[in-house]
Chain A
Amino acid sequence: MSEANASATRITPGNALRPEDIALQDAKPADAVARYALGLGDDALILAQRLGWWISRAPELEEDVALANIALDEIGHARSFLTYAGRAWDKTEDDLAYFRREPEFRSVHLVEQPNGDFARTIARQFVVALYQWELYSRLVHSSDPTLAAIAAKAVKEVDYHRDHATQWVLRLALGTEESRRRMIAGLRLTWPYVEELFTDYPLIDEVGDAGVRPSELRESFDSAVRTVLTEAELEVPAVPGAVGGGRLGRHSEHLGYLLAEMQVLAREHPGASW
């Protein structure tokens, strides 16, 4: 294990850590750590898949570029987490992304939600970015050096996503009557899926200091949300939380379609390389 640690820590936290580097290193995660990384990787992957749709459809060209940047950051995080997780089972990032069935995915329901209009995408983005920032800013202290290194890069990028979403929440909420109505609707549609993000699941006990306990993030998340929504003159939506289960493989109805599209080509040519 000390050998593995030495290898992982060769990467200075915060420096550009690429999935290719992770694939080459010796560190092999414990099974529980791998399953934990899988969940974080799936969140980032499904979100990137959703955001990728916007490229060529955004409200203004500058926003095409901005959303593409965020999608690229997320797919980078997904590749790192999945590559690392896969080392536990001799699987590549692509084996995991393209050849798992829906119940084998560990993403939360929030990232599976449809893009909807721009306000709904921003609402989802706002919640995800705030949540991921709270998560990664603690994961940098993970006892697992590779997870810590992935988080160290991701936290800076997610900080920008947080800012991007915040700017848009303010503009849509305080812009026109129509944009305000849409922003409120977007938040209302998104909020049922907030609770799942902060629900502890059995794996967390197995992961120990390598992971971050979701319930511990809730307070700072809520406070960050309140700060922005107050400035936006909005209320936290009073809607009941939906029953989650994504971390256990029980997904929303949306995921099947998303995976069908994402995996179709790879599955038509099993074993092929691209």
Chain B
Amino acid sequence: MTGGSTTGDDGATAPSSGLHEERAAWPLWEVFVRSSRGLSHVHAGSLHAPDAEMAVRNARDLYTRRNEGVSLWVVPASAIITSDPDAKDAFFESPQGKDYRHATYYTKSEGVKHL
């Protein structure tokens, strides 16, 4: 990079060299893209950005380069709460055996029009 020499900033030092070691990287954001009006936002991926304003701009540049979206959500990755994968059985088993929630459970009405 030619920055230093052209700006006369050669030899510039960080304001506090002590900060260098514990420098915090930009946080991670999850990106959700609405591909067209009427559809939900769908998770597209993630990126790093210093704040929400830059995150939504970086998301625009990174995830909609090919007309993939009409709207974006960015969410700090740390704000997303996940269901516990260990509790998979207990958490997701309840709907099993409740076939009556599905239309296919009701066979006697088969063949009746507009039903």
A and B: direct contact (Cβ < 8 Å)?
yes
Contacts from A to B (Cβ < 8 Å): 57, 60, 62, 65-66, 69, 114-120, 163-164, 167, 171, 176-178, 181-182, 185-186, 189
Given contacts A60-B26, A62-B49, A177-B15, contact A167 B57 (CB under 8 A): yes
Compute the total of residue contacts between A and B using a CB distance below 8 Å.
Answer: 62
Roughly how many angstroms separate A178 CA and B3 CA in the complex, as a whole number?
Answer: 14
Chain B contributes a number of interface residues (CB within 8 A of A) equal to: 24
**Contact: A164 with B57, CB < 8 Å?**
yes
**Do B4 and A176 have beta carbons less than 8 Å apart?**
no
The answer on a CB contact under 8 Å between B2 and A62 is: no
Q: Does B53 contact A (CB under 8 A)?
A: yes
> A62–B9 contact, CB under 8 A?
no
User: Could you say which residues of chain A place their CB within 8 Å of the CB of B53?
Assistant: 167
Nearest CB in chain A to that of B50: its residue? A171
Interface pair B3/A62, CB less than 8 Å apart: no
Interchain CB contact under 8 A, B57 and A178:
no
Q: Are A66 and B12 in contact (CB under 8 A)?
A: no
Asked if A115 contacts B2 (CB within 8 A), the reply is: yes
B9, B14, B53: residue with the most chain A Cβ atoms closer than 10 Å: B9
Q: Across chains A and B, which 8 residue pairs bring their CB atoms closest together, nearest first?
A: A117-B3, A177-B15, A62-B58, A116-B6, A66-B61, A65-B61, A116-B7, A69-B61
Q: In the complex, are the beta carbons of A117 and B54 less than 8 A apart?
A: no
B65 contacts A114, CB within 8 Å?
A: no
* Residue numbers in A under 8 Å from B61 (CB-CB): 62, 65-66, 69
User: Closest chain B residue to A68 by CB distance?
Assistant: B61
* Nearest CB of chain A from residue B59's CB, rounded to whole Å: 9
The contact sample of 9 A-B pairs, CB cut-off 8 A, is A62-B54, A62-B61, A62-B62, A65-B62, A115-B2, A116-B7, A120-B3, A163-B57, A185-B9
Identify the closest chain A residue to B1 (Cβ).
A57
Of chain B, the residue at the smallest CB distance from A61 is B48
Is B47 a contact of A62 with CB atoms below 8 Å?
yes
Tell me which residues across on chain A come within 8 A of B15, comparing CB atoms.
176-178
Assess the B62–A117 pair: CB atoms within 8 A. Answer: no
Closest to A163 in B: B57
In the complex, which residues of chain A have a beta carbon less than 8 angstroms from the beta carbon of B111? none
Report Cα–Cα, A189/B9, bound state, in Å.
Answer: 12
Binary contact track B71-98/A, C-beta < 8 Å → 1, others 0: 0000000000000000000000000000
B11 within 8 Å of A (CB atoms):
no
B18: CB under 8 A from chain A?
no
Which B residues lie within 8 Å of A116 (CB)?
Answer: 2-3, 6-7
B38 on the A face (CB < 8 A) = no
Expressed in whole angstroms, the minimum distance between the Cβ of A169 and any Cβ of chain B is 13
B22 to chain A, nearest CB (A): 15
CB neighbours (8 Å) of B1 from chain A are 57, 117
Chain B residues contacting A181 (CB-CB under 8 Å) are: 12
The reply to whether B57 and A66 contact each other, CB–CB distance below 8 Å, is yes
Given A114-B6, A115-B2, A120-B3, answer yes or no on A62-B65 (Cβ-Cβ < 8 Å): no
0 or 1 for each of B1-36: is its CB under 8 Å from A? (1 = yes): 111101111001111000000000010000000000
Contact flag A117-B57 (CB < 8 Å), given A57-B1, A60-B48, A171-B50: no
Query: Contacts A62-B48, A116-B2, A177-B15 hold; do A185 and B7 have CB atoms under 8 A apart?
Result: yes
Task: List chain A residues, Cβ under 8 A from B7.
Answer: 116-117, 119-120, 182, 185-186, 189
Measured between alpha carbons, how far is A60 from B54 in the docked complex, in Å?
12
Complex Cα spacing A144 to B15, Å: 53
